[in-house]
């Protein structure tokens, strides 16, 4: 198992290296650079100034040379400066990483706690009113655009009712736990509602498939109670495809948080990457996107490990 | 987005949960109104006064620092950090020969300008703002690696002599009409920054205290000083005890960044912010919709400004090189109706690139009102007389087809584009729309003159801004000059070149005004760009807030923040 994990981590490192090159290339090949954008907003800036600034920021050098320079720095732990915020990229990312982890973690756990039992219930009570109701809820969650749901919740809970803050991580001058928690409610609720639908539908589908298997009939014939069969036999087997979806979902939750973070002015990674790409902040965008890649790779590795735990037939032993 | 916002509001109401607005009572009441929360849509990339030029930064720095000179609310050059403008009349500006070795030696004079720093000007840590700071700022500005955005000013300064703690003389290499303005020369605190700069000038832009320690009181000397910075989220400012001027009303001002304008609007309604700054706030269509729904709760002020929305024409295109076609395009538009219907008349129609608010504006230039018959006659005369399937063709059978580009995703521009297309269609002109994301449009298509016909965008400007980079023939971007310059139309007129050169150095206001009028006359007659309208900023204030007077030019309303106060509204 350890060797397997080591091998997968090595593969992940190679993928990250390749991705860093690819992303750097794509960002560098995009038309315009930060200095061009500066020129469009400054009537006084001269052509000589533009040329000088491009040289100062190294933007006049070939792309490959710039990548080599960045990579050498990154391997030594220096990921460069953000042009948008004039701070070291790592210093900028740390608090945002924490914010997004909190937002994602909470909404992910909440979505699982609600969607897994709901999916199981919908499968066990197939074609009942409960099933129809849960399906309706799931489809609503899947089809609602995230920005619209966010706006709706802001209008309802912040503008109309005035119960919750409309956005931000905490109130200015009050970063107490309670205040932070209050600011998390709406973004977490939005992300949870958006995530539940998919997980519920997959769980229901996988459970229906599992409940039709021969070993379920055998378990029932052995005299196990209905919930004993569902929890002890069907659920565990149904979880394998669900875990795959969850692992993929975890990665997409990261990018899905982009719109939610944007709407709630929540200082997280998704918003940071978005701003960085729009603002031609190469270093920040690159490191943010690499982190998203790393997260997807790790969540898939985690899913593989969970498979082995769920199904003893899957083994990564040498 | 305004429509989406209304739709969402309706959905919230349909859910049966629309209760009386409890949120409106939030920050708006502002605890005895000694705190003001301002919403804007952009976070400044740095608070260093001389690195990067951004509206968000100017807005914040307006409260925490003061420029030596700036245009005031009446668009006149005025002293802020200095005690008075040096002029030839008051003897504080003196002609002097250029030293040997300096370009222009023996051909023209330079000028020595004497400035005195406000006697009470003191950094927030108690250190007086002095000529040592001025000398240090000059040292940073002229260093090629320091990352200062606009180095032209520092190139024009040949040297600075400190007379005493508060008085200094600037030796400039030319006498221009705005010779006594110090524009982008923003003083830096030598006692905090010198050691950092001298350690390594090339990395100073990253290590400056304005980035690493922005709440250090010694960096600020305005009515407020920065007390908290949360990147991407907000900047808090508190009243500065060392401020020499009128004490400000608010104890604390928070500038909160909400980039999504629908969310910004919701923040205002919920009371999370008190006002939306017009400099960086809602678009005009959003503000108009907002005013219709909530005009009873807030004051909405529309400030026309210097942002000149127009259509650049590529004069290399043989169709557009014909002046008759350009004039027909103008006569085919009903810009008054467009401004009225799309912007409720809040954005004045433009005749040239000079704003009617600018003192050099000429009201007697050729004005183009809709005249379809005259436009058709011009097109006929230009050879586009054969109309087939509603589209004009020339004798060679080529259709009168033009490409119109703008920034994709800009709702207002895309709306205007649709109107332009349909209005020109009436004349038999086939306009094809091809939009691009802003970074591609500005970063490549315009820069390298890759647009084939028409490109719609706005020029930012300043009062009496000489359009050298936009209209001078030496400023046409080409591969040979590495795409330098902003004369994207490719416009060449020796008389315009001469006027631009002459205006820059003419000190006599009357003579300069005459030259400006001639320049506008040529612009309106030759149409190197098709004028549309001047953009207006929409400022949204609570009814209780008094004293804000937006300028309409690039200097923000925050330069007079000490005059803001809580009234009785």
Query: pLDDT tens digit string along A120-136?
Result: 999 989 889 999 999 99
pLDDT of residue B398: 95
pLDDT of residue B84: 95
Which residues is B256 bridged to in the sheet? B39, B234
CA end-to-end distance (rounded Å), chain B: 29
CB contact under 8 A, A52 and B144: yes
Say whether residue A42 is in contact with chain B using an 8 A CB cutoff. Answer: yes
Residues B382 and B403: their CA atoms lie apart, in Å, by 19
Q: What backbone phi and psi angles, to 5 degrees, belong to B42?
A: -140, 140
pLDDT of residue A295: 82
DSSP alpha helix (H) spans, chain A: 2-29, 34-40, 47-56, 63-75, 89-124, 129-143, 146-153, 177-211, 214-221, 226-229, 235-263, 269-278, 282-310
pLDDT of residue A252: 65
pLDDT of residue B10: 52
Residues B63 and B57: their CA atoms lie apart, in Å, by 10
What are B115's two structure tokens?
């400035």
Q: Which of A45, A81, A148 sits opposite B206 (nearest CB)?
A: A81
What number is the average pLDDT over the span A11-25?
90
Q: In terms of CA atoms, which chain B residue is nearest residue A40?
A: B442
Choose the most confident range, by mean pLDDT, from A156-160, A221-225, A287-291, B59-63. Answer: B59-63
- A77, A45, A19: which is closest to B554 by C-alpha? A45
Say whether residue A314 is in contact with chain B using an 8 A CB cutoff. Answer: no
Biggest alpha carbon–alpha carbon distance for chain B:
81
Q: Which residues of B touch A273 (CB under 8 A)?
A: none
Q: Exposed, middle or buried, B294 (CB in 10 Å: 0-12/13-18/19+)? A: middle
Q: Which of A37, A43, A172 sits opposite B234 (nearest CB)?
A: A172
Query: With 80 as the cut, is the pLDDT of residue A106 above it?
Result: yes
Say whether residue A285 is in contact with chain B using an 8 A CB cutoff. Answer: no
What number is the average pLDDT over the span A6-33?
86
pLDDT of residue B29: 54
pLDDT of residue A316: 62
Residues A148 and B7: their CA atoms lie apart, in Å, by 10
Q: How confident is the model at residue A227 (pLDDT cuts 50, 70, 90)?
A: confident
Decide: helix, strand or coil at residue B235: strand
pLDDT of residue B24: 42
Say whether residue A41 is in contact with chain B using an 8 A CB cutoff. Answer: yes
Q: Which of A37, A43, A156 sits opposite B442 (nearest CB)?
A: A37
- B35, B36, B72, B42: which is closest to B57 by C-alpha? B42
The whole-number mean pLDDT for each consecutive block of 10 residues of chain B, a chain of 569 residues, reads: 51 45 46 85 89 86 96 92 95 93 86 96 97 96 80 87 97 92 91 96 90 96 95 93 95 92 90 93 91 93 92 97 97 94 92 92 94 97 94 95 91 91 96 88 85 92 88 90 85 97 93 97 97 95 94 92 83
pLDDT of residue B432: 96
Say whether residue B485 is in contact with chain A using an 8 A CB cutoff. Answer: yes
Is residue B350 within 8 Å of residue B533, measured between CB atoms? yes
What are A67's two structure tokens?
């990548």
Q: Which residues of A touch B150 (CB under 8 A)?
A: 42, 44-46, 49
Is residue B155 within 8 Å of residue B99, measured between CB atoms? no
- B324, B529, B343, B320: which is closest to B431 by C-alpha? B320
Residues A263 and A189: their CA atoms lie apart, in Å, by 13
Decide: helix, strand or coil at residue B251: coil
Q: How confident is the model at residue A218 (pLDDT cuts 50, 70, 90)?
A: confident
**Between A248 and B436, the higher pLDDT residue:** B436
pLDDT of residue A211: 87
pLDDT of residue A53: 78
Say whether residue A148 is in contact with chain B using an 8 A CB cutoff. Answer: yes
Q: What is the ipTM of this complex?
A: 0.74
Cα separations in angstroms, A314 against A8, A10, A224: 16, 21, 26
pLDDT of residue A39: 67
What is the separation of C-alpha B112 from the centre of its chain, rounded to a whole number of angstroms? 29
Decide: helix, strand or coil at residue B554: coil
Whole-prediction pTM: 0.83
Q: How confident is the model at residue A251 (pLDDT cuts 50, 70, 90)?
A: low
pLDDT of residue A33: 72
Q: In terms of CA atoms, which chain A residue is nearest residue B25?
A: A162
Length of chain A counted residue by residue: 318
Sign of CA dihedral A46, A52, A56, A57: positive
What are B305's two structure tokens?
């400004």
**What does DSSP say about strands B275-276 and B35-40: parallel, antiparallel, or unpaired?**
parallel
pLDDT of residue A254: 64
Average pLDDT, chain A: 84
Query: With 70 as the cut, is the pLDDT of residue A314 above it?
Result: no
- Best mutation target among A34, A40, A51, A79 (most B Cβ atoms within 10 Å) is A40
CB contact under 8 A, A45 and B55: no
Q: What backbone phi and psi angles, to 5 degrees, belong to B245?
A: -95, -160
Q: How confident is the model at residue A55 (pLDDT cuts 50, 70, 90)?
A: confident
Is residue B41 within 8 Å of residue B281, measured between CB atoms? yes
pLDDT of residue B569: 53
pLDDT of residue B347: 92
CB contact under 8 A, A267 and B9: no
DSSP alpha helix (H) spans, A30-88: 34-40, 47-56, 63-75
């Amino acid at each position: 198992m350890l060797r397997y994990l080591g091998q997968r981590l090595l593969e992940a490192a190679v993928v990250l290296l390749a991705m860093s090159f690819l992303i750097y290339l794509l960002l560098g090949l995009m038309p315009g650079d930060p200095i061009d954008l500066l020129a469009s907003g400054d009537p006084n800036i001269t052509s000589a100034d533009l040329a000088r600034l491009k040289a100062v920021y190294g933007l006049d050098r070939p792309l490959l040379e710039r990548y080599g320079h960045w990579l050498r720095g990154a391997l030594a732990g220096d990921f460069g400066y953000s042009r948008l915020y004039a701070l070291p990229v790592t210093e900028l990312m740390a608090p945002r990483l924490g914010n997004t982890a909190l937002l994602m973690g909470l909404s992910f756990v909440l979505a699982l706690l609600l969607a897994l039992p709901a999916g199981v219930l919908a499968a066990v009570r197939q074609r009942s009113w409960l099933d129809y109701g849960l399906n309706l809820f799931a489809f609503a969650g899947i089809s609602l655009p995230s920005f619209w749901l966010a706006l709706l919740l802001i209008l309802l809970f912040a503008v109309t009712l005035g119960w919750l803050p409309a956005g931000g991580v905490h109130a200015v001058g009050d970063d107490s736990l309670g205040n932070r928690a209050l600011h998390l409610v709406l973004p977490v609720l939005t992300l949870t509602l958006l995530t539940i639908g998919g997980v519920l539908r997959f769980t229901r589908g996988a459970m229906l498939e599992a409940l039709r298997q021969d070993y379920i009939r055998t378990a029932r014939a052995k005299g196990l109670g209905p919930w004993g069969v569902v929890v002890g036999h069907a659920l565990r087997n149904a979880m394998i495809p669900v875990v795959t979806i969850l692992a993929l979902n975890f990665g997409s939750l990261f990018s899905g948080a982009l719109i939610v973070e944007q709407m709630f002015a929540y200082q997280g990674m998704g918003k940071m990457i978005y701003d960085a790409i729009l603002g031609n902040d190469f270093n920040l965008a690159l490191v943010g996107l690499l982190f998203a890649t790393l997260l997807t790779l790790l969540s898939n590795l985690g899913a593989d490990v969970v498979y082995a735990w769920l199904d003893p037939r899957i083994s990564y032993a040498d | 987005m305004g429509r989406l916002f209304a739709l969402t509001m309706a959905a919230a109401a349909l859910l049966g949960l629309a209760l009386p607005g409890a949120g409106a009572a939030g920050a708006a009441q502002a605890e005895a109104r000694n705190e003001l929360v301002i919403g804007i849509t952009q976070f400044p990339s740095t608070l260093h006064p001389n690195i990067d030029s951004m509206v968000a930064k100017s807005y914040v720095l307006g409260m925490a620092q003061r420029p030596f000179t700036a245009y005031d609310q009446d668009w006149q050059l005025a002293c802020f950090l200095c005690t008075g403008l040096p002029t030839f009349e008051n003897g504080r500006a003196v002609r002097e020969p250029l030293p040997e070795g300096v370009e222009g030696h023996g051909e023209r004079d330079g000028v020595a300008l004497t400035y005195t720093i406000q006697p009470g000007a003191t950094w927030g840590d108690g250190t007086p703002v002095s000529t040592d700071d001025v000398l240090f700022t000059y040292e940073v500005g002229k260093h090629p690696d320091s990352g200062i955005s606009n180095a032209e000013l520092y190139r024009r300064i040949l040297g600075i002599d400190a007379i005493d703690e508060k008085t200094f003389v600037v030796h400039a290499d030319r006498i221009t009409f705005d010779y006594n303005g110090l524009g982008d020369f923003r003083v830096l605190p030598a006692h905090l920054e010198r050691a950092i700069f001298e350690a390594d000038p090339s990395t100073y832009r990253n290590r400056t205290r304005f980035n690493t320690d922005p709440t250090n009181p010694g960096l600020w000397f305005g009515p407020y000083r920065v007390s908290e910075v949360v990147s991407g989220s907000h900047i808090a400012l508190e009243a500065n005890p060392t401020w020499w001027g009128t004490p400000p009303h608010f104890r604390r001002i928070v500038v909160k960044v909400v980039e999504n304008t629908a969310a910004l609007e919701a923040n205002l309604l919920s009371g999370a912010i008190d006002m939306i700054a017009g400099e960086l706030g809602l678009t005009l269509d959003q503000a108009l919709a907002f005013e219709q729904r909530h005009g009873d709760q807030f004051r909405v002020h529309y400030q026309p400004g210097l942002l000149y929305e127009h259509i650049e024409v590529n004069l290399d295109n043989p169709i557009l090189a014909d002046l008759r076609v350009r004039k027909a395009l103008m006569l085919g538009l009903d810009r008054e109706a467009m401004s009225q219907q799309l912007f409720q008349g809040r954005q004045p129609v433009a005749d040239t690139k000079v704003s009617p608010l600018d003192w050099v504006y000429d009201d007697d230039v050729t004005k183009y009102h809709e005249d379809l018959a005259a436009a058709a006659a011009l097109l006929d005369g230009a050879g586009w007389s054969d109309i087939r399937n509603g589209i004009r063709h020339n004798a060679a059978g080529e259709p009168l087809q033009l490409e119109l580009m703008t920034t994709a995703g800009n709702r207002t521009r895309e709306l205007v584009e649709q109107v332009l297309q349909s209005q020109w269609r009436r004349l038999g002109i086939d306009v094809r729309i091809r939009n691009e994301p802003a970074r591609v449009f500005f970063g490549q298509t315009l820069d390298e003159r890759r647009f084939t016909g028409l490109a719609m965008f706005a020029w930012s400007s300043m009062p009496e801004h000489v359009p050298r980079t936009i209209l001078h023939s030496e400023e046409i971007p080409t591969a040979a000059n590495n795409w330098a310059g902003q004369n994207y139309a490719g416009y060449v007129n020796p008389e315009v070149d001469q006027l631009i050169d002459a205006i820059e150095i003419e000190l006599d206001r009357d003579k300069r005004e005459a030259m400006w009028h001639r320049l506008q006359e040529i612009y309106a007659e030759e149409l190197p760009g098709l004028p549309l309208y001047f953009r207006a900023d929409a400022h949204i204030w609570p009814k209780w807030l008094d004293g804000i007077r937006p300028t309409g030019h690039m200097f923000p309303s925050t330069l007079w923040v000490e005059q803001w106060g809580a009234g009785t509204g």
